Structure 1
Amino acid sequence: MRSIWIVGALCLLATWFFAHLYQGLLTAYEQSGTLTEMEYSWFFRLLLNLAGYSTILLPGFILYKYVDRSNYFDKINGSGCLSQVLLSCFGEPTERLPESTKPTKVVETSARAEGAELAFCFTGLMGTYLVWGLLQEKIMTQNYVMSDGSLVKFNDSQFLVFINRLLAFSIALGRLLCARKPFVAAPLYKFSYCSLTNIISAWCQYEALKYVSFPTQVLSKSCKVIPVMLMGKLVSRNKYELYEYVTAVLISAGMALFMFGSRDDYSESTMTTMSGVTLLALYMVCDSFTSSWQGALFTQYSCDPMQMLCGVNLFSCLLTAAALVHHSSTATSIQLLQHPVFATDCLLLSLSSAVGQLIIYRTIAKFGAVVFTIIMTLRQAVSILLSCLVYGHNVSVGGAFGVLLVFGAVLLRVYCRQRLRRRRPADI
């Protein structure tokens, strides 16, 4: 159809227009000393990031609406290269087996093999995410000594998100190619929703380290229980038991005790503290939507974990690259990559993040979410202990009680879930 080429040309023109508009806004921001020096300058940087993402999302939305309203796939034979690309991006896959006809795998393993697998998952998750957490704090809070003796502090959270997502996409794509699995299991555009919230949550997570300590950020993740439950009811219409609501309140109360009872070296003013709290809240909302949307895609399309990882990180790379291409700080970040210590930190951070995601999928597939929750709870406890020892963060008695309350509530949640499953084995 000739009209699709016209729409494609209009989308390219829209991309060019939005890119130049974004470049103008970015230049105006960087030349405005007032905005860049404000305590809430992160808010304007976030708006600029969204403007950069729009250079990809808005033209894609225009193309999607045309394909949808014109019933494009009903009018073509699907043999052309352009048709195949559009079908991968916006078309529904036609070769999906019904749930009732899907074969089930029965795998028999010995107790020794199962124990070895559990030990591998435990040590893998513990090692990768301990390294990831410590390197995340080091990159965002420490100075790097350059060859001329000057001190440089890395502050481009967007660039760090791009590096992490690029390596994760490369690993996932390589795994799919080696296994000869199809790249597309669901319409590609559906990965853009959770990809957008994923990179926003990652950006907020890195940016928050400028305003709160790492232990505060780690414990704030325990408060994700409530937004995850709300997103689950909103996106997937999930139902929750009474104990889940009770433990969610206890976790939130423990987090509040920690935040108000701890002495944070990074939070020297009320305004700075509010910036950190706002960034953490935005992180939790976006991250909750990401997991809920991914869960819905897993249920609807039976995606392979590698296909999910590849699709999400593909859009993450495109969106972050679109936001970075006009940033003046991008050139500085690339130059900083020539620093061997910084380059090594970025590489290890990205590897630990990507490998950690792979082990997460393996743990849940082998042992279920309960065992995974216990392992990640232990990882959080060790992360806080190591951060306090390495970076000298102080936690008061009230804050320590909050820590105990948070972890006690998580363990209570796991215990109640196990009891409920034993009483209702038919629901498992």
Structure 2
Amino acid sequence: MSQHHGAGKLIICTAGIFVCYFYFAILQEKLTRGQYVDGDNTEKFTYMFALVFAQCAVNCIFAKLLLVTVMKQEEDTTKNLYYATSALTYLLAMVSSNMALQFVNYPTQVVAKAAKPIPIMIMGSLIGGKVYSFKKYCFVTLIVTGVVIFMYKDNVPLKTIEGEGFGKILLVLSLMMDSLTSTIQEKMRGEHKTKSGHMMFNMNMWSVFFSGVVVLFSGELFNFLKFLQRHPAALHHIITLSICGALGQYFIFLTVSEFGPLTCSVATTTRKCFTVIASVIFFGNSLLPRQWLATFFVFLGLFLDSFYGKTKL
């Protein structure tokens, strides 16, 4: 009976991750790469700090609700400095990733972000003094090979390369910030045994503060509100995207706590793979045969790392 219960819970968790982030990905691409029409004028959504502010605010409220209802956890002793620093790197990673979508298509963003283990390993070695297994290096090399093959451009006009080049720089920055976030989170877990609910709430709360300051003092808030007045559909996209992101985070935390990080890693990697396919189908982001092969290398490396990367040999 308990086996059936466990299997049922796993199906609900993985289905939750798939559905939430699948819809999240479609909305994110529609919002950041789509055209909004106002009479004869068309314009793009460019208010990335305002978008991240909305996402983090919804995540923060959602995490607080979880902490006072279903996810009751003991008192948190984690230093505010850790939360503030990790929130800053987390915020910069999200903003860079969203901004990159103005210059590169969604499959490029997903494949590039799949290279996250690389900077995490570098930071782990340099800052955390970690030693990784030979297998881990092999799997990461497979991921790197896939990303390089995917990103390689042949016979493309210089102007396109310049635009995409800036997008790729933003993706590299996002990966660097992700790796710093992971390094700080490891320290939080090691020193304070920080629980997921507290981490989700406090990181998002600090991110709301930082992004709020930027949105307010840069003048982005007023332009953002005017944009929403001209295009009410964008507000619907942002609200739905933020709710999907918050629910997706909850299903990820639930999967980690109930079935472990390996099961969660397999579910999220599979989801990313389907996201690439969905982007090709829904938004016509066609990939070259070489890029399909590269995508296969990247996700094969991620799957192998999920299953065997933790072993010592």
**TM-score normalized by the length of structure 1:** 0.68
* Structure 1 residue 280 displacement after superposition: 0.7
Of 123, 132, 143, 2:24 maps to: 132
Give the match for residue 112 of structure 2: 220
Q: 1:262 to 1:411 in 2, by over 3 A?
A: farther
Give the match for residue 357 of structure 1: 249
Give the match for residue 372 of structure 1: 264
Give the match for residue 381 of structure 1: 273
Q: 1:126 to 1:262 in 2, by over 3 A?
A: farther
* Structure 1 residue 232 displacement after superposition: 2.1
On the 8 A contact 1:162/1:321 being kept in 2, the answer is yes
Give the match for residue 143 of structure 1: 35
Give the match for residue 6 of structure 2: 114
What is the alpha-carbon distance in structure 2 between the residues aligned to residue 219 and residue 405 of structure 1? 10
* Structure 1 residue 136 displacement after superposition: 1.0
On the 8 A contact 2:14/2:251 being kept in 1, the answer is no
On the 8 A contact 2:93/2:177 being kept in 1, the answer is yes
Give the match for residue 237 of structure 2: 345
On the 8 A contact 2:133/2:309 being kept in 1, the answer is no
In structure 2, give the amino acid aligned to 1:392: G
Give the match for residue 174 of structure 1: 65
Q: 1:366 to 1:151 in 2, by over 3 A?
A: same
Give the match for residue 393 of structure 1: 285
Of 284, 298, 301, 1:406 maps to: 298
- The count of corresponding residues between Structure 1 and Structure 2 is 311
SS at match of 1:128: helix
**TM-score normalized by the length of structure 2:** 0.92
Which whole-Å deviations, capped at 9, do the CAs of 1:159-194 have from their partners, x for residues lacking one?
Answer: 111110111111112222346656743122220111
Return the structure number with greater relative CO, CA threshold 8 A, min gap 6. 2
* Structure 1 residue 403 displacement after superposition: 1.2
What is the alpha-carbon distance in structure 2 between the residues aligned to residue 234 and residue 220 of structure 1? 22
What is the alpha-carbon distance in structure 1 between the residues aligned to residue 100 and residue 16 of structure 2? 26
* Structure 1 residue 335 displacement after superposition: 2.8
* Structure 1 residue 320 displacement after superposition: 0.7
Give the match for residue 167 of structure 2: 276
Which structure has the greater CA radius of gyration? 1
Q: 1:415 to 1:288 in 2, by over 3 A?
A: same
Q: 1:401 to 1:263 in 2, by over 3 A?
A: farther
Identity %: 24
What is the alpha-carbon distance in structure 2 between the residues aligned to residue 178 and residue 149 of structure 1? 49
SS at match of 2:217: coil
1:291 aligns with 2:182: yes
Gaps of 5+ in 2: none
What is the alpha-carbon distance in structure 1 between the residues aligned to residue 260 and residue 125 of structure 2? 21
Q: 1:315 to 1:274 in 2, by over 3 A?
A: same
On the 8 A contact 2:73/2:197 being kept in 1, the answer is no
In structure 2, give the amino acid aligned to 1:288: S
Gaps of 5+ in 1: 1-108, 424-428
